[in-house]
Each structure stands twice: as structure tokens, then as C-alpha cells.
């Protein structure tokens, strides 16, 4: 692995983020190391993980495997920490093995502090570059959660904080509370988003997922917040016939969008996945991409060279 390319200085341009949810469970340590090496060698910077990844596939019934693999990779690659930025999340990790959601970690001040400390130990680092609140916890006063995240920034445990799977009004309220408390506010949003969209008002099957809405984008643009999207490539459904889209996407708009996607991919000599990623980045969104093989991440990183113009965007918008 070459660790002499880019520094970790924040980029103002949207970029592909490496999602590591399956590292240590569905993706072996050896596979994960190869993907991480390819990501860094290709100029990738951000790694996205969570303290609960992936309790649902780990025989132990708890999360932490992904962070442990990243920590092992960092130890095996001297200098790697200087060229990657790490984002992780607290909330949802089962406190009792095989007991979710009953024992799911919340967002009390104690839970946030303990979760962050344990993440640092697994990662083998003294801070993370971005700490997310993985989901809402309305059993805890928002003031308490905001104060806990702000305290971690003040201590240098996290350089930035953000909200994943939160309603826009909760993020706006949290930012107001942070100003009142004089602490660092959430400055990034992470939500599910892709080129195809489910039928309106139809809940998705995946527990805990919250879709990106126009209100989220409006808040982000008015407040200057970063936006990250997950499930951006729909688990391979854009390019793999054996991975059909979920039933909630079965509507005429999907067929029209996919037809336009195929046309534009052919015109630009790009893969469908690359066009989807380029479409997201063109809107200022950082797409998270999971990978189990080096060639998958190489394809994703190449999306940075795909140029969509206003006419392409209009064609997609007109197909919905």
C-alpha cells in the first residue's frame, strides 16, 4: 500500500466514502485489507464504520468487528492513519449479546462517552475524525445528547460530529441547543439515498433506515452541512440481475429512470454504478460504497472522473 498520496485535509469536493459494515463478518480480514489498500492507493480518504457493525451477522451477537478489522489494518500499515479519516457511530450496539433492540445502546451522556471510548480502543486511535449519532433516541433529552457529543469534541475525541437517520427538525433543534450550550453542533447528515426511489409514503423493509428528503437537503444547504448517503448502489441491483430491487421500488418511475441510466452509462462509457455515484456527487452528496473486492472499490473511485452535465440531470429528473 502506498501511503504517500493525499493528506487528510478536508476536501470541499464530494468524494466516495468506503463503507466497512461487513468487515470482519461477511468480508474476511484478508479481503478487507485488500479493499482498504486499494481504496487508499486509489486516493480514497474517508472510512465509515459503526460500533454496532455487524451484530446481526456476528456469531458473538454484538458489534465491533468492523472497527477491530480497521484497527488491525492500521497497525499493519504504518503511516495509514495519516492518509485516512475515520468516521464511526454510537447507538444501536447490543449491550447484551443477541438482544436487539431490547438492549440497544442509546444516546445518554454515559452511553455516548462509553461507546466512543470503546470505539477508540477497537480502532487503536486517539480520536476519530467524525462521530455520528447512528439513530435517534427519544428516550433521552436531546439536550443531554447534544452536550455529550459537544464534550467529546472539546476533549479531542472527535473532530466533528454528525447525525445519521435523524429527522431534519431534530437536527435543526439539536444545532440550536448546541449554540445555547456553547458546544460543537452536528455538522453532517447521513441518510439513505440513491437514484431510484421507493413508492411515496411506502416504508422500506430495512430496520432503522431513514430516507433522505427534500427537507434534509434544504437544511443541509441552508446551514452548510455535509451530506453522506448510504445504500447508494442498492446492494448491487443496478448491475446484477440476481440482485433485484426491493418490491417497494416496483413502480413505473423506476423503469423509466433505469432506462435513462442505461442510456447515459453507454454514452459516457461508464458503468451504471459509476453514473449513480457521479449523480450523487454532482449534487454535493458523499456516497458510501461497501465493497468485498478491490476491483469493486476501484470501479467506484473511477466515478470521480465521470462528468454529468445539466442535461443529464434533467433527463433523470424528467424520468421520475
- Which range (7-21, 80-94, 302-316) has the least confidence? 7-21
Tell whether 184 is covered by a domain: yes
- Summarize pLDDT for 86-131 with one digit per residue, the tens: 999 999 999 999 999 999 999 999 999 999 999 999 999 999 999 9
Tell whether 265 is covered by a domain: yes
Tell whether 9 is covered by a domain: no
Q: How far apart are CA 73 and CA 288, in angstroms?
A: 20
- Which range (6-10, 69-73, 223-227) has the least confidence? 6-10
Region 30-47: what's the mean pLDDT?
A: 98
69 alpha-carbon distance from chain centroid: 17
Domain of 162, in residue numbers: 17-319
Tell whether 78 is covered by a domain: yes
DSSP class of 136: -
Contacts of 239 (CB under 8 A, 6+ apart): 271, 272, 273
- Summarize pLDDT for 282-300 with one digit per residue, the tens: 999 999 999 999 999 999 9
Tell whether 278 is covered by a domain: yes
pLDDT of res. 11: 52
Query: Does residue 4 have a pLDDT over 60?
Result: no
How many domains does the structure of the chain reveal? 1
Tell whether 4 is covered by a domain: no
Tell whether 3 is covered by a domain: no
What's the pTM?
0.95
Between residues 200 and 85, the one the model is more confident about: 85
Query: Does residue 7 have a pLDDT over 70?
Result: no
Query: Does residue 9 have a pLDDT over 70?
Result: no
- Encode burial over 169-197: b for 16+ CB neighbours within 10 A, e otherwise: ebbbebbebbeeeebbbbbbbbbbbbbbb
Region 254-280: what's the mean pLDDT?
A: 98
Tell whether 153 is covered by a domain: yes
Q: How many Cβ atoms are within 10 Å of 140's Cβ, its own excluded? A: 16
pLDDT of res. 8: 37
CATH number at residue 118: 3.20.20.100
Query: Does residue 213 have a pLDDT over 80?
Result: yes
Region 28-54: what's the mean pLDDT?
A: 98
Amino acid at each position: 500500500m502506498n501511503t504517500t498520496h493525499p493528506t487528510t485535509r478536508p476536501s470541499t469536493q464530494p468524494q466516495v466514502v468506503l463503507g466497512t459494515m461487513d468487515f470482519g463478518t461477511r468480508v474476511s480480514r484478508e479481503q478487507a485489507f485488500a479493499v482498504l489498500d486499494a481504496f487508499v492507493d486509489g486516493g480514497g480518504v474517508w472510512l465509515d464504520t459503526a460500533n454496532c457493525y455487524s451484530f446481526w451477522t456476528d456469531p458473538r451477537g454484538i458489534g465491533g468487528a468492523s472497527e477491530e478489522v480497521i484497527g488491525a489494518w492500521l497497525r499493519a500499515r504504518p503511516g495509514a492513519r495519516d492518509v485516512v479519516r475515520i468516521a464511526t457511530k454510537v447507538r444501536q450496539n447490543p449491550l447484551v449479546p443477541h438482544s436487539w433492540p431490547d438492549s440497544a445502546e442509546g444516546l445518554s451522556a454515559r452511553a455516548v462517552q462509553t461507546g466512543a471510548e470503546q470505539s477508540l480502543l477497537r480502532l487503536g486511535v486517539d480520536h476519530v475524525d467524525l462521530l455520528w449519532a447512528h439513530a435517534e433516541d427519544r428516550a433521552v433529552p436531546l439536550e443531554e445528547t447534544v452536550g455529550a457529543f459537544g464534550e467529546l469534541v472539546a476533549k479531542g475525541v472527535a473532530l466533528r460530529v454528525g447525525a445519521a437517520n435523524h429527522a431534519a427538525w431534530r437536527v435543526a433543534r439539536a444545532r440550536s441547543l448546541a449554540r445555547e450550550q456553547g458546544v460543537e453542533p452536528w455538522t453532517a447528515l447521513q441518510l439513505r439515498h440513491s437514484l431510484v426511489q421507493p413508492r411515496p409514503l411506502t416504508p422500506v423493509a430495512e430496520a432503522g433506515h431513514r430516507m433522505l428528503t427534500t427537507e434534509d437537503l434544504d437544511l443541509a444547504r441552508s446551514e452548510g452541512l455535509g451530506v453522506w448517503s448510504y445504500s447508494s448502489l442498492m446492494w448491487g441491483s443496478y448491475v446484477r440481475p440476481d440482485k433485484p430491487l426491493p418490491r417497494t421500488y416496483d413502480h413505473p418511475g423506476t423503469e423509466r429512470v433505469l432506462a435513462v441510466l442505461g442510456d447515459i452509462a453507454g454514452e459516457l462509457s461508464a458503468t451504471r454504478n459509476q453514473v449513480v455515484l457521479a449523480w450523487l456527487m454532482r449534487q454535493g452528496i458523499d456516497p458510501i460504497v461497501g465493497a468485498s473486492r478491490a476491483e469493486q472499490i476501484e470501479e467506484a473511485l473511477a466515478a470521480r472522473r465521470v462528468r454529468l452535465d445539466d442535461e443529464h440531470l434533467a433527463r433523470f429528473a424528467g424520468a421520475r
